[in-house]
Amino acid sequence: MTPPTTSPASGPAPTWRSIVITGASGGIGQALASELAAPGVRIGLIGRDAARLEAAAGLCRAKGADVVLAAIDVRDAAAMAAFLAGFDADGPVDLLIANAGVTTGLGPGRAPEPAGQSRRLLEINYAGVLHTVEPLLGAMQARRAGHIVLVSSLAGIRALPDMPSYSASKAAVRAYGIALRGWLRPFGVTVSVVCPGFVTSPMSARHRGARPFEIGADAAATKIVRGLRARRASIAFPWPLLLGMRLGALLPPALSDWFMRPFAAEIEPDADSREK
């Protein structure tokens, strides 16, 4: 499998033949897998739920893709490194999508987030990105080819008051991606940071509050892949919400906090957080 030879800044749209996606068992991850699947494409799908991964694999195989499944928690650095090294050895990864993530928020009556949840989100949302990207950085740099995609959030641009830990973790992902972009550009490696708004998924269903401009996962995947084919460094949507978030980040603090009041929400805990 030959990685794209065009530079990250110009040239025809890339043709990816070896793809890895984390958080592929549902939501944006599954939709991206289906969007990118095609004959001659080999896709590594990583997620914690083997049954849901198999369902995602079925969608990809129906489109002619060769699929390799890995039921791995992105917090497991050793397992991630082993799978990625093996997958890359069988065909150099030319598109790596770090998408896995979870959310949490304030408790009922705007009580503090449950103890330990902030660290859990950092371990999954941010450390999980590191465990996805770091094993392949040296190989991509040496090959002078590849495309790394980090899925952040509009909450990484302007933090949501009811989701402090989620916002912080996604801001970290965004900052890391911006740094990678500047570092790896001279080596021919493209880096894109994706900042979606509300996307319909089991995760968003736990968001008890306004979800303005929410779109389906398939529509989000189409927007993301379109941006990736154009090698866009930043892919953020929907634009009205992006504009509002950018404005909110520039306003004086008191006015910015007032602007965010309509986004008040409670986040229903997920099954994994209830176990802790």
Give every CB contact of residue 13 below 8 A, 6+ residues apart in sequence.
229, 230
Q: For Cα atoms 135, 138, 144, give the angle at the middle one, nearest 5 degrees.
A: 130
Distance between CA atoms of residues 136 and 81, nearest Å: 8
Alpha-carbon span 36 to 237, nearest angstrom: 20
The bridge status of strand 66-71 relative to strand 42-47 is parallel
CA distances from 132 to 36, 82, 245 (A): 19, 11, 28
Catalytic residue (choose from 83, 87, 166, 176): 166
Specify the 3-state DSSP secondary structure of 251: coil
**Best CA proximity match to 125, nearest among 92, 151, 146, 164:** 151
The SS3 assignment for 21 reads: strand
Please state, in angstroms and rounded to a whole number, the distance separating the CA atoms of residues 154 and 139: 30
Start-to-end Cα distance in the chain: 43
Active-site residue flag, 176: no
- Residues pairing with 267 in the sheet: 207
Catalytic residues: 166
